[in-house]
Amino acid sequence: ETGVTQTPRHLVMGMTNKKSLKCEQHLGHNAMYWYKQSAKKPLELMFVYSLEERVENNSVPSRFSPECPNSSHLFLHLHTLQPEDSALYLCASSQDIGRADQYFGPGTRLLVL
């Protein structure tokens, strides 16, 4: 595998379910990001990790819980989501959180029923 991968690619969950999104980067980068894209809206930054430390939580509700166990893996744990959380969730990585270019995964399309 090369680049940034995300699993699953599609997810349907009920409001009482707990699920996790996984992101893996094979680029040796030190920074990882979660973005959300809702319909007709721009990509919104949710969380940023640098060297496994969270450096940004962009006012995201606590029903979204990120985890970065090492610099190659990033998870987004989901629980008691709302239908308005249905969106495309993209992961990205960069060499560091300075000025380095961000490389994106293909996203997970989430539907909350």
Partner 1 sequence: ILNVEQSPQSLHVQEGDSTNFTCSFPSSNFYALHWYRWETAKSPEALFVMTLNGDEKKKGRISATLNTKEGYSYLYIKGSQPEDSATYLCAFTTSGTYKYIFGTGTRLKVLA
Judged by the rule CB under 8 A, the positions of this chain that interact with partner 1 are 3-4, 9, 31, 40-43, 45, 48, 56, 90, 94, 97-99, 101-107
Give min distance, CB of 43 to partner 1, in A: 4
Sequence-ordered list of residues with C-beta below 8 angstroms from that of 73, at least 6 positions apart, any chain: 22, 23, 24
Dist CA 52 CA 40 (whole Å): 31
C-beta closer to partner 1: residue 31 or 112: 31
Give min distance, CB of 57 to partner 1, in A: 13
Give min distance, CB of 62 to partner 1, in A: 22
Give min distance, CB of 47 to partner 1, in A: 12
Extract the tokens encoding 46.
């949710």
Q: Which of 42, 96, 51 is nearest to 74 (CA)?
A: 51
Cβ–Cβ < 8 Å for 20, 75: yes
Extract the tokens encoding 67.
């985890």
C-beta closer to partner 1: residue 15 or 58: 58
C-beta closer to partner 1: residue 18 or 26: 26
